[in-house]
Amino acid sequence: MALSKTNLIILACIAVFALLWLPGTDSYYEYLAFSSDNLVQGRVWTLVTALFVHADIVHLAGNMLFLYAFGNALEKEVGAGKTMLGFFAGGILSFLLGIFAYPPDVYLVGASAAIFTLTAAVLLVKPLKFSFIFLMPLGLVALIYTIYNVIAIYTGVEGNVAYASHIIGFAVGIPFGAVWTKNLKRNSLIVLGLLIFYIFIAAFVVP
């Protein structure tokens, strides 16, 4: 049985992570990670290679978990070609559109923003698709994680997480989902219902 394109991306990310942990590979990081400085210096390939580089094992594991859930779900609905288009378009555009959000010498790595593009697409294509990984509909997972990132930006949460890039990636995924869904009106209403449900739980149930 052939691996899905999503799973091939996951294997590639794991392989790159393992290779960069080998002795003597530290210098390669700056040639693979994205930064405004790298782009100005003509290292345009970093728009793609940075998607496969991750800062540490927690960064890698978290991203691959979300990529496995959302990437495979979307791939089953719209096909591998469209899923890969969303992944790479979301990743590349999030780097380019986020240039002014970060200092020029700051390196950005990881598939997070590209994965957020896929989450937005799934939100409109198959919002009630149940995930046995997260034990809830993927649409609800997408809303929870996106709202968390918006709050993090609004409250100025510090750390090495590119929250702005995540939101850019999500925004890129919305038009993809709107075009690929078979019933935009119905699924939009479902998303609204999930949002209301989440707000109710957050406001009145969670202490």
Q: What is the 3-state secondary structure (H, E, C) of 93-123?
A: HHHHHCHHHCCCCCCECCCHHHHHHHHHHHH
pLDDT of residue 157: 75
pLDDT of residue 101: 87
Q: How far apart are the first and last CA of the chain?
A: 46
pLDDT of residue 1: 66
pLDDT of residue 207: 64
Q: In whole angstroms, what is the distance from residue 152 CA to residue 64 CA? A: 22
What does the chain come to in residues?
207
E-strand ranges in 14-109 read none
Q: In whole angstroms, what is the distance from residue 181 CA to residue 57 CA? A: 34
Domains of the chain, residue spans? 5-205
pLDDT of residue 109: 95
Q: In whole angstroms, what is the distance from residue 15 CA to residue 17 CA? A: 5
pLDDT of residue 23: 84
E-strand ranges in 76-199 read 130-131, 136-137
- Name the CATH architecture for the domain at 5-205: Up-down Bundle (1.20)
Look up residue 184 and give its amino acid. Answer: L
pLDDT of residue 12: 98
Regions of the chain with pLDDT less than 50: none
Residues in Cβ contact with 27 at an 8 Å cutoff, skipping those fewer than 6 apart: none
Q: Is 135 left (phi over 0), alpha (psi -120 to 50) or beta?
A: left
Q: In whole angstroms, what is the distance from residue 151 CA to residue 148 CA? A: 5
Instruction: Please state the pTM of the whole predicted model.
Output: 0.94
CB atoms within 10 A of CB 182: 10
